[in-house]
Chain A
Amino acid sequence: GAGVSQSPRYKVAKRGQDVALRCDPISGHVSLFWYQQALGQGPEFLTYFQNEAQLDKSGLPSDRFFAERPEGSVSTLKIQRTQQEDSAVYLCASSLGGQGSRFRSGTEAFFGQGTRLTVV
């Protein structure tokens, strides 16, 4: 597609429920990032993929969070046993990236609209 697409846009989950958030990056983009953005805060890094390889998952807050990108395109962020503190907007971004690079010259990041997760 023309841009980064995320689904669903909104998700309400009962505490303890598992959720799966989808990100469809721009075709051909090597790098894919997941961020968590709480209300009034800046996006916080969760994890980074280069193609299908998850090169950095240091930002995932707990082992309840799991991300995958099995074919190097679409990515899924899964949150198990959701808790109220998981409520946030989850942003996905992609960039052309490249070997060993993250954000480099000319490789700006394009963000999706995000998924607003509310855990009740």
Chain B
Amino acid sequence: QQPVQSPQAVILREGEDAVINCSSSKALYSVHWYRQKHGEAPVFLMILLKGGEQKGHEKISASFNEKKQQSSLYLTASQLSYSGTYFCGTEVYTGNQFYFGTGTSLTVIP
């Protein structure tokens, strides 16, 4: 039930780009993306509702492919502040379940 994220971990130099993928085995109603810094609560980044929808948040954007039951988070020109663990959250059509993904640890170094 839990969506699978890839990669598990990534290290970037400041200014580099990264892509984080989230894949579900269930048909999805929506996908959410959160970032959690160590010892802190997850912070909402964005929600995507429709198949093929794309959204942007500063230099962070995401896409949602409803058919493939996948979402990707794109981080461009990464900054030190982007470091943290990124979680996708998926809401399925059936039932009331909402699952967080396995997480991707992102570290940006100078």
Chain A interface (Cβ < 8 Å from any Cβ of B): 4, 33, 35, 41-45, 48, 55-56, 58, 91, 102-106, 108-114
Contacts and interface: CB of A to CB of B under 8 A. Distances in A.
Interface residues of B, number: 22
A44 B41 contact: no
Contacts of A111: 41-43
B58 interface: no
Interface of B: 2, 30, 32, 40-44, 47, 49, 87, 89, 91, 95-103
Contacts of B47: 103, 105-106, 108
A103 B103 CA distance: 19
Given A42-B2, A113-B40, A108 B32 contact: yes
A109 B41 CA distance: 11
23 contacts: A4-B41, A33-B98, A35-B100, A42-B101, A42-B103, A43-B87, A45-B98, A55-B96, A56-B97, A91-B42, A102-B91, A103-B91, A103-B98, A104-B30, A105-B47, A106-B47, A108-B44, A108-B47, A109-B44, A111-B43, A112-B41, A113-B40, A113-B41
A112 B2 CA distance: 22
B103 A41 contact: yes
A100 to B, nearest CB: 9
Nearest to B48: A105
A108 B30 CA distance: 12
